[in-house]
Amino acid sequence: MLIVQDTIKMAKLPKAPLREIMKEEGCTKVSAKGVITFREEVERYAYALANMSKACALHAGRTTINEADVKLAVR
């Protein structure tokens, strides 16, 4: 469960692909709670990035988020 801006959101990303990413990066042993925490942090970042991308698009007078908005939001 992830709390973003006082809203409870259920996990959207599956654990298996995240565990694979961790293994590809050399994490040979990862506990179940480690994967869950990793997922929560990835989702927290994804929500923040989506929010910043939306702000960039709105600032440019658009409602559609494009590649430039996402890249700017990452900075």
Structural contact between residues 40 and 16, judged by C-beta atoms closer than 8 angstroms: no
Quote the domain boundaries for residue 61.
Answer: 2-74
Could you tell me the sign of the dihedral formed by the alpha carbons of 40, 46, 6, 8, in that order?
Answer: negative
Q: Is the pLDDT of residue 1 over 60?
A: no
2 - beta bridge partners?
9
Element (H, E) at 1: none
Number of domains in the chain: 1
Which pLDDT tens digit goes with each residue over 21-38?
Answer: 999 999 999 999 999 999
**Residue 11 confidence class, pLDDT cut points 50, 70, 90:** confident
Structural contact between residues 35 and 21, judged by C-beta atoms closer than 8 angstroms: no
- Whose CA is closest to 9, among 55, 37, 35, 43? 43
CATH number at residue 21: 1.10.20.10
